[in-house]
Amino acid sequence: MQSDNCGPDRPAHPGIFPTGEAGKSDHEPAERSVDFPVSVVLPAGGTGERTGLQTPKQFCSFLGRPLISYTVQTFERLSWIQSIVVVVAKEHMDLMTDIIQRFQHRKVRVVPGGSTRHRSIWNGVLALGGEAEGEAAAGDRPKVVIIHDAVRPFVEEDFLYKITMAAKEQGAAGAIRPLVSTVIATTAEGYLDHSLERAKYRASEMPQGFTYDVIYQAYQRCTESDFEFGTECLHLALQYCGTNAKLIQGPPTLWKVTYKRDLAAAESIIKDALSQSACIITGGSAHAATLAGALQKAAGALDTELEVIPDLMGENASYLLKEWNFIRVSVNCSCLSEVEALLGDLEAADRALLHPVVVIWVHLSCSGESSISGGKVEPDGLMELASAAKLHNILLYGIQLQQSKEIERWERSVLKVMEITSALIRERSPALVGQLLQA
């Protein structure tokens, strides 16, 4: 049984991870031309025992989204990938179908896995050829199959392209990384037998690529012992097809989420990727522009790139499609209509389907009267707005500060606004949503 879900026709959501060029974020995937069909098998049928958690790691959530959804997104946004087969345990088929529908993933099919990783991958390869349903659909068969563990979410387009082209040429290609620890052989009694010369060995990682014929034939010919105990597809290609894989050293981002600590590391990487920059909207106010300039200066010390714009009109509307963090400065105006308009624009742009968007309302009081004692700002109004925004995965926070003629005091307030802003953007905590914080 498999479930097809092509999902609604929508533009690929921008990615948040670098394409492989250092520091360049991939708001849009670089267009590459691949003139043959490429499909992907994502084995996700394991139980993740080594995390010690009840929930299999591929379904553990980060910022409200399961790990596997991040991996699927990485592949679905590449125009040269024609289809993705996710292989999950039978009891998770419905869960995976729900994830695909909830996050509007495209080009994805779900098929049942097997008792071992190899069996799961084989089921995925069969599905690509239409055999999982009992009829061979030769026309759908891809030229190249990328096999990638679903728990390796940080794969870069550049590297996928390299593996794909090498697999097309060579029949098989695989990612490798230098060994971090020396590999030793042990005796039956648990003593050292010998150690391997580390420089001669590499860690085999994912993604791997194969021509469809090679991986199909390899699995058709392999033994029950291979299915039960094997962990290396490249070995099957060599052993049963005489195809010697091209090995390509990949970036450190290829690591596999295996232990509980890896989940924390993955969440930190995702949060880092979402908090690289922010956009300050001043509404054209001179006071707000002054504050924005001071915040930009303070941001430099906090490694956050701040862009200042008056509004989201014209060309500036592009920020709605590429920015994950917005700061709306209101001066002497405690009404929330400007924030409400921004939230409406973000909801209309459908920005927060895959990642929570942060909106921070900075209320600058220049009138001299304390905006607290004057009771000018209605915190309830902010909480109400924030609760509604949260339903669209938009996290709204408030910060209040007063203009001060004392330079030192003003600079301290500005720095405090920037520190609070950085923390809110980095953590994206639902707990602080709707709060009016004081700088």
Ligand X SMILES: O=P(O)(O)OC[C@@H](O)[C@@H](O)[C@@H](O)CO
Ligand Y SMILES: Nc1ccn([C@@H]2O[C@H](COP(=O)(O)OP(=O)(O)OP(=O)(O)O)[C@@H](O)[C@H]2O)c(=O)n1
Give the number of residues in contact with ligand X, rule: CB under 6 A.
Answer: 10
Q: Does 149 bind ligand X (CB under 6 A)?
A: yes
Can you give the binding site for ligand Y, defined by CB under 6 A?
43-50, 56, 58, 87, 113-117, 120, 149-151, 256, 258
- Residue 261 interaction partner, one of ligand Y, ligand X, none, beta carbon < 5-8 Å per kind: none
Minimum distance between the CB of residue 128 and ligand Y, rounded to whole angstroms?
15
- Residue numbers 190-209 binding ligand X by CB under 6 A: 204-206
- Residue 87 interaction partner, one of ligand Y, ligand X, none, beta carbon < 5-8 Å per kind: ligand Y
Contact between 357 and 364 under an 8 Å Cβ cutoff? The reply is no
Looking at the DSSP bridge assignments, the partners of residue 144 are 38, 211
Looking at the DSSP bridge assignments, the partners of residue 329 are 362
Tell me which residue has tokens 């690289």. 276
Chain residue whose CB lies nearest ligand Y: 46
Residue 66: is the preceding peptide bond cis (ω within 30°)? no
Q: Does 155 bind ligand X (CB under 6 A)?
A: no
Give the whole-angstrom CA distance, residue 15 versus residue 359: 20
Chain residue whose CB lies nearest ligand X: 231
- Residue 239 interaction partner, one of ligand Y, ligand X, none, beta carbon < 5-8 Å per kind: none
- Residue 45 interaction partner, one of ligand X, ligand Y, none, beta carbon < 5-8 Å per kind: ligand Y
Give the whole-angstrom CA distance, residue 125 versus residue 227: 14
Contact between 397 and 361 under an 8 Å Cβ cutoff? The reply is yes
User: Which stretches within 242-375 are classed as H helix?
Assistant: 260-274, 286-301, 319-322, 337-348
> What are 57's two structure tokens?
């790691």
Query: Which residue lies nearer to ligand X by CB, 262 or 419?
Result: 262
Query: Which residue lies nearer to ligand X by CB, 26 or 205?
Result: 205
Query: Which residue lies nearer to ligand Y by CB, 62 or 361?
Result: 62
User: Which stretches within 20-116 are classed as H helix?
Assistant: 67-76, 93-102
Contact between 6 and 84 under an 8 Å Cβ cutoff? The reply is no
Minimum distance between the CB of residue 40 and ligand X, rounded to whole angstroms?
14
Query: Which residue lies nearer to ligand Y by CB, 87 or 175?
Result: 87
Interacting residues with ligand X (CB under 6 A): 117, 149, 204-206, 231-233, 256, 258
